[in-house]
A and B are shown apart, each in its own frame.
Chain A
Amino acid sequence: MTGPVARMLEEKRVVVCCGAGGVGKTTVSASLAIAAARAGRRVLVVTIDPSKRLAETLGVERNPPEPVPLPAERLAAAGIVEGTLAAWMLDPKLVSDRVVENFARSPEDARRLLDNRMYRNITAMIAGLQEYTAVEALHGFVMEDVYDLVILDTPPSRDALRFLDAPDRVAMFLDRRIFNLFVPGEGSAIRRMATRLIEKVMDVAFGEQTRRDLQQFFDLFGGVLDHLNHNQHEMRAFFKQPDIGFLLVTSPAREALAEAGFFARKTRDELKMHLCGYVLNRSLAAQAGYAMPDPAALPDDADPALRSGLSTLAGLARVEQQKVAEHLALAADLETRAGDGFAWVLPMLGGGAGDLADLVHLADVLVAERPPGHPDSEETP
Chain B
Amino acid sequence: MHFLDRRVLLISGKGGVGRTTVTVALARAAARAGKRTLVCEIANPEGGPSAIGRLLGLDGVGPEPVAVGPRLDACHLWARTGHARFLQSVLPGKALVRAALRSRAVDKFLTAAPSFHEMGLFYHLLTLLRAERDGRRRHELIVLDMPATGHTLALTGLPEILLRLMPTGPIAAALREGQAVLNDPDQGAAWVVTLPEQLPVTEAIELLAGLSETEMPAGGVLLNRMPPDPFTPAERAALDGWIEGRQVFGEVAFRRIEAAAEARARLEDRVEVPVLTLPELGDEPVPGLVGALANYMAVDGGGR
What string of 1s and 0s marks CB contacts (under 8 Å) between A317-341 and chain B? 1111100100000000000000000
Shortest Cβ distance from residue A30 to the other chain B in the assembled complex, whole angstroms: 13
The residues of A that contact B87 with a CB separation of less than 8 Å are 201, 205
Whether A206 touches B235, Cβ cut-off 8 Å, given contacts A53-B198, A127-B117, is no
Q: For the complex, would chain B's binding face be called helix, strand, loop or mixed by DSSP majority? A: helix
Q: With A51-B203, A351-B259 as given contacts, are A209 and B100 in contact (CB-CB < 8 Å)?
A: no
Minimum CB distance partner of B48 in chain A: A158
Q: Chain B: which residue is nearest A52 at the CB level?
A: B202
Asked if B111 is at the interface of the complex by the 8 Å CB criterion, the answer is yes
Given the contacts A121-B165, A178-B108, A22 and B250 also touching, CB distance less than 8 Å: no
When distances are taken between beta carbons in the complex, the residues of chain B under 8 Å from A51 are 199, 202-203
B236 touches A125 (CB 8 A): no
Mask, A50-61, CB within 8 Å of B = 1, is 011100000000
Annotate A154-178 by CB proximity to B: 1 below 8 A, 0 otherwise: 0111110100000000001101001
Given known A53-B199, A207-B172, A309-B239, contact A117–B154 (CB-CB < 8 A): no
Residues of B within 8 A of A (CB): 14-17, 44-46, 48, 86-87, 90-92, 96, 99-100, 103, 105-106, 108-109, 111-115, 117-118, 147-151, 154, 161, 164-172, 197-200, 202-203, 206, 230-232, 234-239, 242-243, 246-256, 259, 262, 283
Given contacts A155-B149, A209-B167, contact A309 B238 (CB under 8 A): yes
Q: Specify the chain A residue showing the minimal Cβ separation from B44.
A: A158
Chain A nearest CB from B289 CB (Å) reads: 16
Given B16, B48, B249, which contacts A253 in the complex, CB threshold below 8 Å? B16
Closest 6 CB pairs of A and B: A21-B15, A22-B16, A207-B169, A317-B250, A309-B235, A207-B168
- Are A205 and B250 in contact, CB atoms less than 8 angstroms apart? no
Smallest Cβ-Cβ distance to B86: which chain A residue: A205
A118 touches which one: B108, B114, B118, B202 (CB < 8 A)?
Answer: B114
**Given A209-B168, A313-B239, A352-B197, A125 and B114 contact (CB-CB distance below 8 Å):** yes
Give Cα A228 to B268, complex, Å: 47
Contact between chains at A201 and B202 (CB < 8 Å): no
CB distance from B43 to the nearest CB of A (A): 12
Instruction: Given contact pairs A121-B161, A287-B252, enumerate 13 new A-B contacts (beta carbons under 8 Å).
Output: A21-B15, A122-B161, A125-B115, A157-B148, A181-B109, A197-B105, A203-B169, A291-B246, A305-B238, A312-B230, A316-B249, A317-B253, A354-B198
> Which A residues touch B86, using CB under 8 A?
205
Is A214's CB within 8 Å of the partner chain B? yes
A–B pairs, 6, beta carbons within 8 Å: A122-B161, A155-B150, A198-B109, A205-B86, A206-B169, A207-B167
Neighbour of B259 across the interface among A155, A254, A291, A350, CB < 8 A = A350
> How far does the alpha carbon of A99 sit from the alpha carbon of B14 in the complex, in Å?
29
A194 contacts across to B, CB distance below 8 A:
103, 105
With A122-B165, A157-B15 as known contacts, state yes or no: A175 contacts B112, CB within 8 Å. Answer: yes
* Complex contact B154–A124 (CB within 8 A): yes
Within 8 A of B (CB), among A29-85: 49, 51-53
Q: Which residues of A contact B169 (CB under 8 A)?
A: 203-208, 210
Q: A198-B106, A207-B166, A306-B238 are in contact. Are A21 and B14 (CB under 8 A)?
A: yes
Whether a CB of chain B sits under 8 angstroms from the CB of A293 is yes
Within 8 A of B (CB), among A212-239: 213-214, 217
In the assembled complex, the CB of B255 is this many whole angstroms from the nearest CB of chain A, namely 4
Q: A206–B163 Cα gap in the complex (Å)? A: 10
A118-B165 contact, Cβ under 8 Å, with A197-B105, A205-B91, A350-B256: yes
Interfacial chain B residues near A368, Cβ < 8 Å: none
Q: Is the CB of A292 within 8 A of B14?
A: no
Bound complex: CA of A20 vs CA of B113, how far in Å? 28
